[in-house]
Chains A and B, each alone.
Chain A
Amino acid sequence: MPMLEVNNIHTYYGNIHALKGVSLKVEQGEIVSLIGGNGAGKTTTLRTISGALKPREGNIIFEGEDLGKRKPHQIVHKGIAMVPEGRRIFARMTVMENLEMGAYIRKDKKKIAEDLEWVFELLPRLKERRKQVGGTLSGGEQQMLATARALMTRPRLLLMDEPSMGLAPVLVEAIFDTIVRINKEGTTLLLVEQNALMALSVANRGYVLETGDIVMHDTGEALKKNEKVQKAYLGVE
C-alpha cells in the first residue's frame, strides 16, 4: 500500500478549474518530484493534499485513511508537513519561536529538544541565528527555517513547494543536499520544483504536471533522459 495516494482530484478556485484529475502515489521512503511550468498546478496540488483546498472530486488517502473530511491542522497531526511556497515563516517571531511553532502539536519535551538538536545539526546556520527575528534572515536562511520548522512537526511525509526558488546556485545545492539527508534519515518527500534538473536528480520517481493534468510519470532518471522533458524543462535543444 502506498503511503500517499492522490486519486483523480479536481480542485477549483471559484470557477477556475485548476486541477483536472491529478493522480499520483508516494511510497514510504521515496523522494517523488512533481515538476511543471509556472501555473501548472503544482502548488494547488500540495495545498489540496495539506487540506488548505478541498477537491471537488477525487480523494486523497494517507496511510490508508481518507483525508477528505480533515481540516489542515488535523492533517498535520496525521503526519504530513509542508514547506509552503514562498517559505511563509513567521517574520515577526524569532527563529527559535518559529521552531517552537513547528513543535506545537507535540508534548514530549525531551523528544522536542532532541529534534531541535537534530535540525540545528542539519542546518547549523539556524543555530547561530536562533535569537534573530525571522524577517531579518536572508532568503536562504528563511528557506532553511521553513524546512526546519516543518521538520519539527516530525512528519512522516514532507511536502516541499519550490524550495530552491529565488536562491543562488550554491544555496540551491545546499538545499538539495539537505533534502537528500532528510530523506535518508527516514522522512518521505514529495517535492515540487521548477528546477527540474535538480528535482529529478534526487528523485526516485517523478511526475510532470501541465495545466492541471499529469502528462508523464516515470523514474527520475528516465524522465531526465526523456526528450520531451529535456526540451520543455531542462533547456536542452
Chain B
Amino acid sequence: MFRTWRQRVTFSDIMVWIIGLAIGVVVVWGTISTIQSGKYSAESWFDLIVKGLALGGVYALIAMGYTLVYGILRMINFAHSEVFMSGPVTAVFLANALAASGFLNKQPLLSILAIALLSMLVSMTVAILVERIAYRPLRNAPRLVPLITAIGASFFLQYTFRGFYGSGFQAYPTIDALAGSWKIGTVQLYKTQAVVIMAAIVLMFLLYAIVMWSKLGKAMRAVSEDREAAALMGIDADKIIVFTFALGGAAAGIGGILYILLFPIAHFYMGFIPGLKAFTAAVLGGIGNVPGAFLGSMVLGLIESLGPNLFLDGLGIPNASQLKDALAFIILVFILIFRPSGILGERTAQTKA
C-alpha cells in the first residue's frame, strides 16, 4: 500500500528536520566565521584535538561499563559513575604514600601500574557489590525499578565514600616523568595526554578482544542476545552478569587513573560529570555496541574540546569553552531526538529494548 508523502510525514518530523537544519546552519556558520577570524593557530587546533582525544579515551573506558551492562540487562547502570569514582578516590592514598617514600619518582612506571591496579580492583569490587546487592534481587522486577535503585545506589556510594574519605579534595602527587611536553616541529604534545591516549587505545582494544574472542566474552554476547537460549547451552547467566559488571568496573577503575593524569584531583563527587559524559558517549555510539562506545567517546571528546572554540566562538559567544559541559549534554538531547540508536546502533535496537 502506498501512501502519499503528506500522509507519511508527520508534523513532528518536519519540526525535527527544521531544528536539525537550523543547528547545522549555526554550526557551519560559527565554524566558518571562527576560521576566518584566524584567532586560533594551527598549533592551538592541534592542542585541542589531542586534548579531545585524551578525554575521549577516558570516556571510552567508562562508557564500556554502561554499554556492556546495557547489552546484557537492558538497563542503564546509573551507579557506574560512582564505580568510576571509587577507584581513584581510594588509590590517591597509595599515590601519596608512594610519593612520600620517594618511590613514585624513582619508579614512575611501576608506581602508576600499582596505582592503576588498586583503582581497578576497587572499582571492580564496587561494581560487583552493586550488582549483587542492588540489582540481582530485582532481576525480574519491572524495568523502572532497577533504574530507580541505580540512582539510589549512586547516592549511597557517593555518601559512603564521603564518609570514608571526607568531603575534601585530595590532590594526586605530580609525576616528574610525565610533566611537561614533547616538541614535535612547531606543536607541543603534553606527555600526560599522549600517555592517556595510548593507554586508552590499548585498553579498548584489549576489552574488544575479550568481548569478541574470549570464551567468557562470547558467552556474554550469547546471554545478551538470548538469555534462555544461552541457558540451554549450560551458560549460567548470573555468573556472566557478574563478569560483565567486573569487566566494566575494571575498565572504569583504570579509566579513573587516566582521568587523574589529566585532572589530578580526587573527591567523592568526581564521578558525576565524567559518568554522565561517558553515558552520553555510549548513547552517541549506539548503546550496547563496543566499537560504538569507543567511537562515540572519541567524537564526544573532540566535540567537547573543539566545539566551543570552533563553532560557539565564531558566533560571538564570550568564554565559549565554559560551555563545554552544556554542549555535551545538548548533544545527548539531540541524539535522543534524532537518532536514539546512536551512530553504530541498529535501528531495531529501539524495538528490542
Interface bits A48-91 vs B (CB < 8 Å: 1, else 0): 00111000000000000000000111101100011010001111
Task: Please determine whether B233 and A149 come into contact, CB atoms closer than 8 angstroms.
Answer: yes
Let me know if B232 is at the binding interface, CB within 8 A: yes
A-B contact pairs, 20 of them (CB 8 A): A50-B232, A51-B231, A73-B234, A73-B236, A73-B237, A74-B234, A76-B233, A76-B234, A82-B232, A84-B228, A90-B222, A93-B222, A97-B221, A100-B218, A101-B219, A101-B233, A104-B215, A150-B232, A153-B233, A153-B234
Majority DSSP secondary structure for residues of B touching A:
helix
Query: Which 9 pairs, one residue from A and one from B, show the smallest C-beta to C-beta distance?
Result: A76-B234, A105-B234, A72-B231, A88-B229, A101-B233, A73-B236, A73-B231, A90-B225, A104-B233
Task: Please determine whether A88 and B226 come into contact, CB atoms closer than 8 angstroms.
Answer: yes
Let me know if B117 is at the binding interface, CB within 8 A: no
Let me know if B265 is at the binding interface, CB within 8 A: no
Let me know if B112 is at the binding interface, CB within 8 A: no
Residues of B with Cβ closer than 8 Å to A?
215, 218-219, 221-222, 225-226, 228-237
B231 contact set on A, CB distance < 8 A: 51-52, 71-73, 76
Let me know if A92 is at the binding interface, CB within 8 A: yes
B229 contact set on A, CB distance < 8 A: 84, 88-90
Let me know if A102 is at the binding interface, CB within 8 A: yes
Task: Please determine whether B228 and A52 come into contact, CB atoms closer than 8 angstroms.
Answer: yes
The minimal Cβ–Cβ distance linking A88 to chain B, given in whole angstroms, is 4
Partner of B219, one of A50, A77, A82, A104: A104
Give the CA-CA distance A213 to B233 in the complex, in Å.
Answer: 29
| Closest B residue to A104 using CB positions | B233
Task: Please determine whether B225 and A93 come into contact, CB atoms closer than 8 angstroms.
Answer: yes
The minimal Cβ–Cβ distance linking A95 to chain B, given in whole angstroms, is 13
- A90 with B221, Cβ < 8 A, contacts A73-B234, A76-B234, A101-B235 known: yes
Give the CA-CA distance A51 to B222 in the complex, in Å.
Answer: 19
Range class of the A interface residue count? 20 to 34
B233 contact set on A, CB distance < 8 A: 73, 76, 101-102, 104-105, 149, 153
Task: Please determine whether A92 and B221 come into contact, CB atoms closer than 8 angstroms.
Answer: yes
The minimal Cβ–Cβ distance linking B176 to chain A, given in whole angstroms, is 47
| Closest B residue to A81 using CB positions | B232
B219 contact set on A, CB distance < 8 A: 101, 104
Give the CA-CA distance A89 to B230 in the complex, in Å.
Answer: 9
Residues of A with Cβ closer than 8 Å to B?
50-52, 71-74, 76-77, 81-82, 84, 88-93, 97, 100-102, 104-105, 149-150, 153
Task: Please determine whether B225 and A97 come into contact, CB atoms closer than 8 angstroms.
Answer: no
| Closest A residue to B230 using CB positions | A101
B236 contact set on A, CB distance < 8 A: 71, 73
Of B221, B232, B234, chain A has the most CB atoms within 10 Å of the CB of B232
Task: Please determine whether A91 and B234 come into contact, CB atoms closer than 8 angstroms.
Answer: no
A77 contact set on B, CB distance < 8 A: 234
Task: Please determine whether A104 and B232 come into contact, CB atoms closer than 8 angstroms.
Answer: no
A51 contact set on B, CB distance < 8 A: 231
- A84 with B232, Cβ < 8 A, contacts A90-B226, A104-B215 known: yes
| Closest A residue to B239 using CB positions | A73
Give the CA-CA distance A82 to B234 in the complex, in Å.
Answer: 11
The minimal Cβ–Cβ distance linking B225 to chain A, given in whole angstroms, is 5
The minimal Cβ–Cβ distance linking A42 to chain B, given in whole angstroms, is 17
A90 contact set on B, CB distance < 8 A: 221-222, 225-226, 229
Of B225, B229, B234, B235, chain A has the most CB atoms within 10 Å of the CB of B234
| Closest A residue to B219 using CB positions | A104
A104 contact set on B, CB distance < 8 A: 215, 219, 233-235
A105 contact set on B, CB distance < 8 A: 233-234
Give the CA-CA distance A77 to B233 in the complex, in Å.
Answer: 9
The minimal Cβ–Cβ distance linking B214 to chain A, given in whole angstroms, is 11
| Closest B residue to A103 using CB positions | B233
Task: Please determine whether B232 and A93 come into contact, CB atoms closer than 8 angstroms.
Answer: no
Task: Please determine whether A97 and B218 come into contact, CB atoms closer than 8 angstroms.
Answer: yes
B221 contact set on A, CB distance < 8 A: 90, 92-93, 97
Of A77, A101, A105, A153, chain B has the most CB atoms within 10 Å of the CB of A101
| Closest B residue to A92 using CB positions | B225
Give the CA-CA distance A93 to B226 in the complex, in Å.
Answer: 11
- A72 with B232, Cβ < 8 A, contacts A93-B221, A100-B218, A101-B219 known: yes
Give the CA-CA distance A81 to B234 in the complex, in Å.
Answer: 9
Give the CA-CA distance A52 to B231 in the complex, in Å.
Answer: 9
